[in-house]
């Protein structure tokens, strides 16, 4: 397919944007816009360059921006914090797109302590929400957070981003959205469609079709606020770390975790990482992150795993509940792990509700809903990655097959180490997140990694595995794998796109959904 012609932003449109958000709310020069690109992309490559970055401060301003975009048929691409590094960051699919950054729409609109939820604008970061909870005297409420707390609550949720507390399982936390549509109209999903309804952020459905999922990983509207369920701090919290000494034991470990989840012993989302990935958690044991270095031999990896004590794979998990329940579940996990010969179970401490201020370790903080930036300290600035993340049944043999497929291709085609984390985000499936790491100053290595990621998408697709999110450079390839019945799924999505956004201004090409006018250009 052809590449869409780069968009050229008319000066008259720039004037109207300035009228809406002010001169200081419009960035135009390369120097101004350089920080609104993916830092994990080769920086001399301007393929996905924008023409402007806008900073609205209200829903009304977003509606006005959409009106201008309709008048000039300007492709808009939205980001909340723009921290989607490794997937394209804030960059859009069409060169010359106008980026809408929500960093100035950063208000926590509501905290309901009784029903344990918050309502936030898209610029609110995890660390902002945590601070708002503290300031309002509600820090007994926990947020299900990712590893790095600088991202947006809304942005991460809309891109199916992973978080670790029980509400992180299958994206249970997001609920109730306010959305600006392509025609500028304002929509509220679910019970929010009833003026003054008090259950908007409490009940995930409504009357008729449930629309919220239509605005996740899509280009049908712009979310300007969203509810997010919080979890009351438990009486007891037990973070744990379990080792898998030999690579051959991964298969059995996966099956054990599945059964512990199905039994309700593990409620949050654990993460299983291979030795090199664990350097982000144990830099004192494993040294500086080596994902982009030359390939380690199996003997070298095993020696590193043995010497550090973290194993060829290590699993971070947490248990929550009353003290007696947590104590019992610690015993259940420990007993189950005896099947892993030589496997170690580290449970140094159970934190009680009043001891939250004593949680200091990175992994312990994340699983306790304490957002932080600690992981950023362990990865060198020049190292980037592209994520390839297929969804796989939570069956040891299936996971092993996919891990081996990816590992062999990464080592052979890219010539870098295999960096992997496995996330069981529900009881029955997991995401095998493989980061193709590279030196962002090395164009050849960067391009080889991007090419390898595309190849991985296609090779895994042949075996029936699909991405759960994709880098902007290969969104079309990832979408192509969803090909049942002559791509009936994509056709249905395109039908919706053409109906709700006839001029194709909202995030054209996002996850393979192009508006009619651009589909025709790409196919001609």
Amino acid 291: pLDDT? 52
Tell me the residue ranges of DSSP E strands in 334-428. Answer: 345-346, 351-352, 383-388, 391-393, 419-423
Q: Write b or e for each residue in 288-297: b if 16 or more Cβ atoms lie within 10 A of its Cβ, otherwise e.
A: ebbbbeeebe
Do 65 and 14 touch, CB atoms closer than 8 A?
no
Residue 101's φ and ψ, nearest 5 degrees, are -100, 130
Pairing of strands 26-27, 52-54: antiparallel
**Among positive and negative, which fits the CA dihedral 338, 311, 148, 177?**
negative
Q: CA–CA distance from 320 to each of 127, 266, 329, 363 (Å)? A: 22, 9, 9, 15
Contact 333, 265 (CB under 8 A): yes
Query: For residue 418, how many other CB atoms are within 10 A of its CB?
Result: 25
Cα distance between residue 259 and residue 256, in whole Å: 5
Q: State pTM to two decimals.
A: 0.94
Cβ-Cβ contacts under 8 Å for 369 (sequence gap 6 or more): 130, 142, 143, 144, 145, 165, 231
Series of mean pLDDT values for 10-residue runs along the chain (524 residues): 85 98 96 87 86 98 98 96 88 95 98 98 97 96 95 95 93 96 98 97 95 96 98 98 97 98 96 86 60 75 89 96 98 98 97 96 95 81 84 97 90 82 95 86 85 90 92 94 97 98 97 94 74
Nearest of 199, 195, 189, 192 to residue 220 by alpha carbon: 189
Strands of 347-412, DSSP E:
351-352, 383-388, 391-393
Residues linked to residue 318 through DSSP beta bridges, in sequence order: 239
Identify whether the C-beta of residue 54 lies closer than 8 Å to the C-beta of residue 24: no
| 45 close to 93: Cβ distance less than 8 angstroms | no
For residue 412, what are the contacts with CB-CB under 8 A and spacing of at least 6? none
Alpha helices in 109-238 (DSSP H): 126-135, 153-158
DSSP single-letter state for residue 449: H
Alpha helices in 309-394 (DSSP H): 323-336, 362-367
Handedness of CA 256, 262, 267, 269 (dihedral sign): positive
pLDDT at 235: 98
Distance in angstroms (rounded) separating the CA atoms of residues 271 and 252: 15
Per-residue pLDDT at 285:
60
* Among 68, 55, 149, 146, residue whose Cα is nearest residue 99: 55
Residue 418: predicted pLDDT = 86
Closest to 501 measured CA to CA, from 523, 480, 517, 482: 517
Q: Do 142 and 232 meet the contact criterion of CB atoms below 8 Å apart?
A: yes
pLDDT attached to residue 287: 58
Catalytic site residues?
Answer: 87, 468-469
CB contact at 8 A, 361 and 241: no
Output the pLDDT for position 509: 96
What is the reported pLDDT for 376? 78
**C-alpha gyration radius of the chain:** 23
pLDDT number for residue 171: 86
Contact 158, 219 (CB under 8 A): no
Question: Of 468, 429, 432, 473, nearest to 455 (Cα)?
Answer: 473
- Per DSSP (E only), the strands in 389-516 are 391-393, 419-423, 429-439
User: Given this model, what pLDDT does residue 432 score?
Assistant: 96
């Amino acid at each position: 397919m052809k590449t869409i012609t780069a968009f050229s932003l008319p000066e008259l449109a720039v004037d109207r944007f300035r009228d809406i958000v002010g001169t200081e709310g419009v960035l135009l020069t390369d120097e101004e816009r350089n920080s609104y690109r993916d830092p994990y992309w080769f920086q001399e490559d301007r393929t996905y360059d924008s023409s402007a970055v806008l900073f609205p401060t209200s829903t009304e301003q977003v509606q006005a921006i959409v009106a201008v975009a309709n008048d000039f048929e300007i492709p808009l691409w939205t980001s909340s914090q723009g921290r989607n590094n490794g997937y394209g960051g804030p960059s859009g699919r069409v060169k010359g797109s106008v980026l809408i950054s929500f960093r100035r729409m950063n208000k926590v609109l509501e905290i309901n302590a009784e029903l344990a939820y918050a309502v936030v604008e898209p610029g609110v970061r995890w660390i902002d929400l945590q601070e708002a909870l503290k300031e309002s005297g509600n820090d007994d409420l926990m947020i299900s957070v990712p590893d790095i707390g600088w991202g947006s609550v809304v942005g991460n949720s809309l891109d199916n981003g992973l978080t670790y507390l029980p509400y992180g399982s299958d994206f249970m936390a997001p609920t109730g959205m306010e959305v600006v549509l392509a025609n500028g109209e304002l929509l509220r999903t679910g019970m929010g469609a009833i003026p003054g309804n008090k259950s908007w952020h409490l009940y995930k459905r409504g009357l008729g079709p449930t629309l919220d999922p239509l605005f996740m990983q899509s280009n049908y509207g712009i979310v300007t606020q969203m509810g997010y369920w919080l979890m009351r701090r438990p009486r007891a919290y037990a973070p744990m770390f379990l080792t898998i000494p030999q690579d051959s034991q991964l298969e059995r470990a996966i099956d054990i975790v599945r059964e512990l989840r199905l039994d309700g012993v593990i409620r949050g989302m654990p993460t299983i990482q291979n030795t090199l990935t664990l350097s982000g958690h144990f830099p004192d044991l494993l040294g500086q992150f080596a994902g982009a270095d030359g390939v380690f031999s199996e003997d070298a990896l095993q020696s590193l795993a043995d010497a550090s004590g973290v194993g060829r794979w290590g699993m971070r998990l947490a248990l929550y509940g009353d003290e007696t329940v947590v104590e019992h579940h610690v015993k259940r996990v420990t007993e189950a792990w005896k099947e892993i010969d030589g496997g170690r179970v580290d449970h140094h401490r159970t934190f009680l509700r009043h001891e939250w201020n004593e949680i200091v370790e990175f992994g312990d903080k994340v699983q306790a809903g304490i957002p932080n930036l600690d992981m950023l300290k362990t990865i060198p600035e020049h190292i980037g990655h592209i994520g390839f993340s297929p969804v796989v049944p939570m069956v040891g043999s299936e996971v092993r097959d996919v891990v081996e497929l990816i590992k062999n291709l990464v080592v052979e085609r890219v010539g870098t180490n295999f960096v992997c984390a496995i996330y069981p985000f529900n009881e029955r499936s997991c995401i095998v997140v493989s980061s193709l790491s590279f030196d962002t100053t090395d164009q050849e290595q960067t391009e080889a990694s991007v090419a390898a990621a595309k190849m991985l998408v296609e090779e895994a697709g042949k075996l029936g595995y699909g991405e759960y999110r994709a880098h902007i450079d290969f969104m079309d390839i990832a979408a192509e794998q969803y090909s049942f019945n002559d791509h009936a799924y994509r056709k249905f999505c395109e039908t919706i796109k053409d109906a709700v956004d006839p001029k194709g201004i909202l995030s054209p090409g996002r996850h393979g959904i192009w508006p009619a006018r651009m589909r025709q250009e790409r196919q001609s």
